[in-house]
A and B are shown apart, each in its own frame.
Chain A
Amino acid sequence: MARRIIHLALFKEDQVDETAEALEALRGMGIVDRDISVISGTPFSEKMLGRPMTWTRVPIIAIAGAVVGFLVAAFLNFGTPLLYPIRVGGMALQTIPTSFVIFFELTMLGLLISTFIGVFVESISPSYGPAGYDPRISDGQIGVLFWAPPELDPKLHETLTGLGAEIIHGTETKKLWLF
C-alpha cells in the first residue's frame, strides 16, 4: 500500500461546532471514520463531534485483574496455611472472617493495577488511525487527522479553511514516546 499523506486540520479551541461540521464534510467527501482521528486537548465526547463510539478493553482488563486478585487472595488465605500448618491463638487454620479483609484488598489491588496496566498497554500499543500530532493540541486546539487521496486536496482545502481550520498537509509522525 502506498504511503498515504496524512492531513491535519487544526481548529481553535472554541471551534467545536466547526469541527463537527468539518467531520461531517469529510465524511461527505467519502473519507470513512476509520481514516479520521480527532485529537484534542480537552476531552470531547464522541457524541459532541458526531463520531462513532470508541471502544476500550480497560474495563475487561480491570475485571480480569480483579478476578486474578481474588484468586491470589483465595490461595493466600486458604492455601498457604496448608503448606505449613501453624496454629495460633486457638484459631482454626483457615479463618473465614479474617479472609474477607484479604479478599477485599487483593481484589481491589488486582482491579486497580490491571486498570492501569490496561491503560498503559493500550496507550503504547499501535493504533490504526492516522498518526500525527501538533503541540498546539495541548493548547486546546482541536485537530482532525485524516488520510485522503491526493485528488481531494483542493476540495478539502477549500472546505476546511472555510470552516476556519488551519491545514497542515503531510504531518510528520513524530515519535512521542520512548519507542
Chain B
Amino acid sequence: MNKPLPWWLRPWVRVTAGLIFLILLGGAVGGIYLTQQTPQQPIQFPHSFHVGAGIPCLYCHPGAQWGPVAGLPTTQKCWGCHQQVAKTKTSPELQKLVAYVEKNEGIPWVPVFIQPDFVHFNHRPHVAAGVACETCHGDMTKVTVAEAKPRQNMGWCLDCHSKQPQEKWTRLSDCSTCHY
C-alpha cells in the first residue's frame, strides 16, 4: 500500500529544516570566529623583525614596567628610529608611517590583547615578578602582526597564579585582585 509519507518525512520539510539548522550553525560559528579574529592593523608591523633586531619589548611598550597598560608606540617613537633607516624610503608599508608623520597624526593601532571590561589587569606587578612577556603574549619572534593568544580566560590566569608560592595565593586568588 502506498501510504502518504508523514509530514516530517517529506523531503521539503527535511531540506528546509536542514537549511535552517545550517544557517543557525553557520551564524554561530561565524559569529564566534569573527570575535576570535585578529584585527586589521593600520600598518603590517613585523614584530618578528624588530624583536630579531634586538629591540626589547619595553622599548616600544614601556608602560608595562611601571603601570597597568603597556602602551602602543606613538608616531614619534617609530619615527625616532625610522627616519634614520634607509628602508623607510623604499618600503611601501613604511610609506604609511611616513604619511602619518607628515600628517602629524598618531598611528591608529588596534590593541590586540584586551581584557574584558570587568577585568582589571596591571602589567607592573607581573613584570616586577619577572614574568617574561612571551609567557602571556607568545613568542613574538615568530609573529608578524600581533595576534591575540586565544583563551586568555580566568582559568588561564589562575593556572599561573596557583603555581605561585602558597603565601601569595591568598592575594592572587582574591576576587578583588582583578574584579571590581
In the complex, A touching B (Cβ < 8 A): yes
Tell me the A residues contacting B by CB distance below 8 Å: 84-86
Q: Which residues of B contact A86 (CB under 8 A)?
A: 175
Q: Which residues of B contact A85 (CB under 8 A)?
A: 173
Q: How far is the CB of A172 from chain B (nearest CB, A)?
A: 22
A-B contact count (CB 8 A): 4
Q: Which residues 148-180 in B have Cβ within 8 Å of A in the complex?
A: 158, 173, 175
- Give 4 nearest A-B pairs by CB, closest first: A84-B173, A85-B173, A86-B175, A84-B158
B169 (CB) vs chain A CBs: closest residue: A85
B170 (CB) vs chain A CBs: closest residue: A85
B162 (CB) vs chain A CBs: closest residue: A84
Q: Which residues of A contact B175 (CB under 8 A)?
A: 86
Q: How far is the CB of A89 from chain B (nearest CB, A)?
A: 15
Q: How far is the CA of A84 from the CA of B173 in the complex (A)?
A: 8
Q: How far is the CA of A85 from the CA of B173 in the complex (A)?
A: 8
A85 (CB) vs chain B CBs: closest residue: B173
Q: How far is the CB of A69 from chain B (nearest CB, A)?
A: 28
Q: How far is the CB of A92 from chain B (nearest CB, A)?
A: 16
Q: Which residues 101-151 in B have Cβ within 8 Å of A in the complex?
A: none
Q: How far is the CA of A86 from the CA of B174 in the complex (A)?
A: 8
Q: How far is the CA of A85 from the CA of B170 in the complex (A)?
A: 9
Q: How far is the CB of A84 from chain B (nearest CB, A)?
A: 7
Q: How far is the CB of B48 from chain A (nearest CB, A)?
A: 38
Q: How far is the CB of B137 from chain A (nearest CB, A)?
A: 26
Q: How far is the CB of A46 from chain B (nearest CB, A)?
A: 44
Q: How far is the CB of B173 from chain A (nearest CB, A)?
A: 7
Q: How far is the CB of A81 from chain B (nearest CB, A)?
A: 12
